[in-house]
Structure 1
């Protein structure tokens, strides 16, 4: 695959590019030091996924995202240190494929890249937690579990999907029932969906 890394801090950009090039399925990694350079690369090269910082000179990562949505099929991944709600909401509105925080490993970033190339979205749980209404009593992890329950997954399957023990999943499920006043999975799911909590 061909990737683009747009990051104005050269040391960080170089390190990230070198690490990505060590991955077996990465063929080329283009670099951009600012938003205008990123757009120039997207115009000239075939890029499967672009990894963009938000705060860059000339044009921000959000500007590049909005340009790409109008002019390109490239998957866009915002990687940032900022948990600002406004940035996140603007990115989601523009159709960002993934919006994740920088405190992740290369293997986690590669997993995100594969997720978006498969057509799915990914947002850091911390960001989602920030914008969820206070009325929703469910934690981000509890919402994830309920969404998997909605897909018909067993506790064992949920534990594997979320890298949790069976006991931890059962504890989360019990907490969900208590918070929603539900007697079973079906009731909990019905309540959460009706209230648009998941």
Structure 2
């Protein structure tokens, strides 16, 4: 997987490059210190993933993400110090496939690159919760005025004849908690490749594009596990 690092701080770029350099399946092909440079290098280097900071000179990371995605140059993971809702939702609206904070564990960062390179989306657990809250914000009022039978009928359903296995349901619930493939594998005591297979099967059965949509589906279907500290 070819990765481009975009951050205006040289020390941060060096740190991420050091973390990724030990991974056999990841190659850092370039670094950028501005959003415009990230877009230009994306055109010339054709990376699979760009780790994109938000606050950069010349062009900010949100605008750069919008250009990169619109031109189909690469998939983007927003990586920022600032835990702000405007950055989160503006980044997702711009087409980012992931959103992580810079204080994330190195293992989660590496896992995020692999997940996004595989065509899926990945968000930090607390970010997932906020996305769900925003996307389902209008639902409580609607449900309050909807008869119980109608509300039950409005829950998303699997296509006729399609069912999730007990293990796939369990994996979906853990995805809805915001866990990465690596964390799910540890919790279920199975291999990470096995988890990836289950996640792919779940996405296909639900008919959704990525993990974010799967999380929304799980919450609306009442499959999400109760929130806990």
Query: Quick check: TM above 0.5?
Result: yes
Matched residue, 2:61: 61
Give distance in 2, aligned partners of 1:152 and 1:111. 25
Q: Assess if the C-alpha contact under 8 Å between 1:20 and 1:29 holds in 2.
A: no
Matched residue, 2:70: 70
In structure 2, relative to structure 1, the CA distance for the partners of 1:156 and 1:121 (3 Å cut) is closer
Task: Answer yes or no: is 1:152 the counterpart of 2:165.
Answer: yes
| 1:44-77 Cα distance to aligned partner (Å, 9 max, x none) | 1121100011111111111111001111241100
Give distance in 2, aligned partners of 1:191 and 1:29. 37
Q: How does 1:179-198 map to 2 (within 5 A)?
A: 193=220
Give distance in 1, aligned partners of 2:54 and 2:7. 8
Give distance in 1, aligned partners of 2:218 and 2:8. 46
Give distance in 1, aligned partners of 2:169 and 2:219. 22
Give distance in 2, aligned partners of 1:113 and 1:120. 10
Aligned length: 162
Matched residue, 2:184: 161
Matched residue, 2:26: 26
| Alignment gaps of 5+ in structure 1 | 137-149, 167-189
Superposed CA RMSD in Å reads 3.3
| Alignment gaps of 5+ in structure 2 | 141-162, 175-182, 190-216
Matched residue, 2:122: 122
Matched residue, 1:144: none
- 3-state SS of paired residue (1:51): strand
Give distance in 2, aligned partners of 1:116 and 1:86. 22
| 1:12-62 Cα distance to aligned partner (Å, 9 max, x none) | 111211221221112333111111111110121121100011111111111
